[in-house]
Chains A and B, each alone.
Chain A
Amino acid sequence: MNIENADRRDANRILSAALDDPGTLPDRDLDRTLELLESDAKRVRIGAAWVFGIVATDTPGRALSYVSKIVDRLDDTEIGSEVTRALAYIADADPERIERELRSMDEETARRCRAALWGELAERTVVRTPTDDEKADGDAMGRPESDEWGWIGGGRRTEVYDTGSEPDRRRPPTERPVAPSTVDYDYDQYTPVGTIYRDEAVESFKVSYRTPDGGTAPGIFKRFRPPEEGDFESTFDRRIRMWQSIDDHESILPVVDWGTDPVPWVVTAYEDVNGVATLGRNGRPDAAVWTLSNVAESLCFAHRRGVIHGGLTPGSIVRSSIFTEPNAWRLPRVTDWGYVSLLRKTAPLESVSARYLAPEHVDHGSPGVVDGVTDVYGFGIVAYEALVGEPPFGPDSDSEDGLSIPAAIDRRFPEIESFLRRCLADRKPERFQTVEEMMTAFRSATEDADG
């Protein structure tokens, strides 16, 4: 009891001194505050976390020097929430500096700290999309051993939020993800947390950034190396503005920020799962049909507003878990609106396999230009992969070789083969001419799906 009283007295004194003038708070008081984080009294621990927050706001560098010592206390479950609170205050004061500090620590300590700060997001790393050369066996994009499409996860915190493997998910979600606030920052105001993908034309990173309400949010930051010829920047700017004009739809991934200086870049909401092949691979036709209906609706919504995707592939579909509904299907959201064809104008994109692209993307000759009918082809590719679990065409085959629909799918949806053939026709006049027409036909072909 005496120790607790001493802790309370010291906590009150140090907190009072920090509030008066954090700059003059002696080091011995900060050392004592560190001890107070382990106090038996919760109120004292909260006060200690506040002290670190106040000092971090005034002199971030001083508080940062205590980060590794604070992280050492994370494993104590009794005091974990106050320790995390102290770390969050310090991170919030200067996200970039804490990231630099974390990089100077040993990997395990930094990992634990990131996990405390960013929860399940900190421990996820995207798997690079394989190219034709790497995946000559014709597997779908993504890695079978990953927890879900395109992303691998791990760690106990991931399990807390993302328990549902695909077969455990049995119904559509009733809630929807909260859209992140848009911000207007410069290129260098985003703190990189990890590299997602890198090639000649595109680099993407997981980043954290400050939200307008003072919090910290994760995002996906993509930057592009513009082709030397042409006016890439202004066209890119137009395409992103078009994307932003439709991102209020629940199945379209929201744009957070973008710019063209020093290179074209865009930040979107962070999503941890992409691709749809898992649905087909795990034999989830009801979930696949629901997912595809959402994708089709997002395309209709966009086309009604004069926006086309122009490069829809399974990799353009991210799927969001609703944390409060771990047994609900993941909500699909379409990303990368409008700029895939722009990037492909001068050279093929490594990250987008040619076998997923419409003939008008690959061959700039006879098939015509990229337009709304190109999205019909893209939807056909996504639909096939979601239902069957692999791409419709192997690396060495083309669409003239014909589609092969598994018997189980054919029995359940007898009209789906003709629907897919029409979507995936090489010649544009043979495809559905509008996405509305395509969506009507898709509904008709899948109307007996339960779910």
Chain B
Amino acid sequence: MAEPTVVGSGVLARFLAFVVLFVACGVTTVYAALNDRRGTLSVEIWRYVVVAMGIGMVYAVFGGYELLGSTLLSDAALTGLRQVSQLFFIILLSLSMRELYYRLPYRDADSNATLLSHGRARLLEAAFMGIVFVEFVVVISIGLTVAVQAIQAVASVAFAAYGISFAAGTRAEAMAGGTVVDSLLVRFIAVLTCLGAAGALDGGALVGLPPTLVAGAVTVFLVMSAAFLITLALRLRANVEAAV
């Protein structure tokens, strides 16, 4: 059974959006893995990207499965799983941006030059991940509540902003314009913005936004995310081919 707010042709559009997102994440995973194998960056960022894209694929699978309907899981559980995987997708993208920020060769991770030390950033992330884990347990045990949805929306925006801030900081400092690192940063900023907006809109339904408008806008953001990831995959492919 389809999610109540996605109706009519919107179901097909949303389903196709998840399919495109799944393909985009898959292709990006392959080329990130190939970049990792070729050692194209001295920073170990590609493994983070591979894991993030893997979660993106899981998110797309849950989203598509939710639209098709399931007899194994309740609608609320499926929606909860989709939203939790969406949040993890955002978190892992943000973590990869954080890792890139601290691991670039010019950075001394333990220096006081950054506002947030690498260790403190990781501690903060662990705390947030704990909150997400609790949310996951709540969703599985008692279903998707309004409170959980609100936390989900806030966390999506917060983590997206967290990742974007690191990406923007790296772009400002690294003078990497026109390189694969810059391509990665630009695309991830765009994807995080789209996913953050989608997460916020999911929560927007709670404060009275028209459900069909929310559903349509989320579908658009999903398609945009997939499009940005496809362009990133093409850049990563060129990077791999040049490294041969």
Contacts and interface: CB of A to CB of B under 8 A. Distances in A.
15 contacts: A238-B106, A239-B175, A240-B106, A241-B105, A241-B107, A304-B239, A305-B179, A306-B43, A308-B175, A341-B175, A371-B175, A371-B177, A372-B178, A372-B182, A375-B178
Nearest to B100: A306
Nearest to B104: A306
B15 to A, nearest CB: 35
Interface on chain A toward B: helix, strand, loop, or mixed SS?
Answer: helix
B105 A436 contact: no
Contacts of B113: 234
A338 interface: yes
B241 interface: yes
A382 interface: no
A372 B239 CA distance: 14
Given A245-B106, A305-B41, A305-B42, A436 B238 contact: yes
Interface in A335-383: 338, 341, 369-375
A384 B179 CA distance: 24
Contacts of B242: 300, 304, 436, 439
Contacts of A238: 106-107, 173-174
B106 A371 contact: no
A434 interface: yes
Contact of B179 (A234, A235, A239, A308): A308
A308 B192 CA distance: 26
Given A241-B105, A242-B106, A369-B177, 11 more contacts: A238-B106, A242-B175, A245-B106, A304-B41, A305-B179, A308-B175, A310-B175, A341-B175, A433-B178, A436-B238, A437-B238
Contacts of A307: 176, 179
Nearest to B180: A304
A308 B238 contact: no
Nearest to A301: B243
Contact of A237 (B106, B174, B179, B238): B106
Given A234-B113, A305-B42, A370-B177, A245 B105 contact: yes
Interface string A223-262: 0000000000011011111101110000000000000000
B181 interface: yes
Q: What 4 A-B pairs have minimum CB-CB distances, sorted nearest first?
A: A372-B178, A371-B177, A306-B181, A245-B105
A128 interface: no
Interface of B: 40-43, 104-107, 113, 173-182, 238-239, 241-243
A303 interface: yes
Nearest to A235: B173
Binding site secondary structure of chain B: loop
In this complex, which of A241, A375, A434 has the most chain B Cβ atoms within 10 angstroms of its Cβ?
A434
Interface centre among A234, A235, A307, A338 (most CB of B within 10 A): A307
Interface in A289-310: 300, 302-308, 310
Contacts of A246: 42
A371 B41 contact: no
Contact of A239 (B41, B106, B181): B106
A341 B243 CA distance: 27
Contacts of A374: 178
A422 B65 CA distance: 49
Nearest to A339: B175
A370 B40 contact: no
B77 to A, nearest CB: 42
A234 B113 CA distance: 9
A367 B181 CA distance: 22
A246 B174 CA distance: 14
B40 A304 contact: yes
Contacts of B174: 238, 242, 306
B55 to A, nearest CB: 24
Nearest to B177: A371
Given A242-B105, A436-B238, A308 B180 contact: no
Given A305-B42, A306-B174, A439-B242, A241 B106 contact: yes
Contacts of A433: 178
A361 to B, nearest CB: 13
